[in-house]
Structure 1
Amino acid sequence: MYSPRHFAVEDLSLLDALFKRDAFVSLITIDAEGLPFASHVPVIYRRDGERISIRGHWSRANPQAHAAGPALIIVHGPHGYVSPRWYTDPDQQVPTWNYAVAHLRGNLQSFDDAERLQSLVAELADAYEVPLGGDWRFPESAPGRIDSLRGIIGFELQPSAIALKAKFNQNHPEANRRGVIQALRQGDGHEQELADWMQRINFGNAE
């Protein structure tokens, strides 16, 4: 990933925030023909210091379920268009796109033992049911569906390289950055979120 020094981030708290915001990732491997193959899957993210684990599963019918070796996981953050009119010197500027993203590379490991798959599916259900106030749990809520585990294959990636990028106008004067944040505040929920992230990256949480 191309990441000029203004936008490169080393603080892993940004990675935590990206996964907390949206743990539906793009998983990319190289197939037998040497071509990139992508799946889009929800994952469980765990970090203990610099040790990171990312787990998820495929349908057994997914060709990627037979992949092993080098892989790339892309975690997507907020993003949006920035108009030159939002700067203090608009005649000297051009449009751009602001965004945050993480690329994690490592060797992909797969597993299909029932105990690990059951634990993984249970964790995924908890991760998404609890915020909804739901009480669906696996396998307690669906004991008759244990056999469905035969239809999936799990994976785990412990990244050996992490690239974090937050492109939020850090290369602009403070007045321009504040102008962009102010303009985004006038927009919808998507733009409001982008403004919040810009505020944190550029100026901390204080308004």
Structure 2
Amino acid sequence: MRYTPYYLMNDPAEVARLVRENPWATWTSPATKGLVASHYPTLLDEEATAASGELVLLTHFGRPDERSHELGKHEVLVIVQGPHGYISPSWYPDPSDMVPTWNHVTAHLWGVPEILSDDENFEVLGQLVDQFEQHVAAPRSLQLDETSARHIATGTVGVRLRVTRFDARAKLSQNRTAEERERITAELRGEGHYAHPGLAAEMERLA
């Protein structure tokens, strides 16, 4: 990502929040046959992160995707994309302003994946299901039929990634005046084509 000092996110706790709130991540690998990208739900390993002070990610790959990525043989890049959206210059008070932009919150995280055992993988799959099912009226669990769930789990590979470095940005109109930022936030919370309450909330957090 372009280096712009006042957009940098240096706080690991903020990057951890971004992962928690935006669990659909892109995993990319420089495999022998070329770049490979896959998309998987990704959790923060809260216990390992708290114990080590490092960001630790958990996910699973569907077979044979793990072979395409050559998991464990090299560093991978995980991209976590938070709220993002178009910012129209028509939202600025100066009528001569004509340059639009795109606000976003994004993190790039690097590390070498660790392949989990079958039992660890099943535990991660259970965590993933429970994490998302908790928000529905009648949540389901892998424990409803563990035997069948374990059979299905053989088609997946569990992965743990200890993040060795990250590069994160919160580009949220920090270069604009307080009045302009208020107008942008109001438009994002409005009913127009580019309304985006989630992006407005990120701007309000920064303020």
Answer yes or no: is 1:200 the counterpart of 2:205: yes
Cα RMSD (Å): 1.9
Counterpart among 62, 80, 104 of residue 75 in structure 1: 80
What do residues 19-63 of structure 1 show as CA deviations (whole Å, max 9, x unaligned)? 232201000101112x21101000121232732211111112214
Q: Distance in 1 between matches of 2:97 and 2:77?
A: 37
Compute the displacement of 1:195 (Å). Answer: 1.0
Q: Distance in 2 between matches of 1:55 and 1:115?
A: 14
Answer yes or no: is 1:127 the counterpart of 2:131: yes
The corresponding residue for 2:106 is 101
Secondary structure, counterpart of 1:120 in structure 2: helix
Write the mapping of 1:140-159 to structure 2, written as runs, cut at 5 A. Answer: 140-159=144-163
Contact 1:56 1:120 in 2 (8 A): yes
The corresponding residue for 1:11 is 11
Contact 1:39 1:64 in 2 (8 A): no
- Using structure 1 for the length normalisation, give the TM-score: 0.88
Structure 2: gaps of 5 or more residues = none
Greater CA drift, 131-140 or 118-127: 131-140
Counterpart among 82, 85, 89 of residue 90 in structure 2: 85
The corresponding residue for 2:37 is 38
Q: Distance in 1 between matches of 2:143 and 2:166?
A: 34
Secondary structure, counterpart of 2:55 in structure 1: strand
Q: Distance in 2 between matches of 1:29 and 1:38?
A: 7
Contact 1:14 1:164 in 2 (8 A): no
Q: Distance in 1 between matches of 2:99 and 2:30?
A: 36
The corresponding residue for 2:59 is 56
Contact 1:139 1:146 in 2 (8 A): no
What do residues 142-193 of structure 1 show as CA deviations (whole Å, max 9, x unaligned)? 5323222221111111111011201011011212111211221213696122
Structure 1: gaps of 5 or more residues = none
Q: Distance in 2 between matches of 1:90 and 1:6?
A: 26
Contact 2:16 2:55 in 1 (8 A): no
What do residues 103-140 of structure 1 show as CA deviations (whole Å, max 9, x unaligned)? 101112223x2211111111111111112143321233
Q: Distance in 1 between matches of 2:82 and 2:69?
A: 26
Q: Distance in 1 between matches of 2:191 and 2:202?
A: 14
Q: Distance in 2 between matches of 1:190 and 1:40?
A: 26
Compute the displacement of 1:65 (Å). Answer: 5.3
Q: Distance in 2 between matches of 1:41 and 1:79?
A: 19
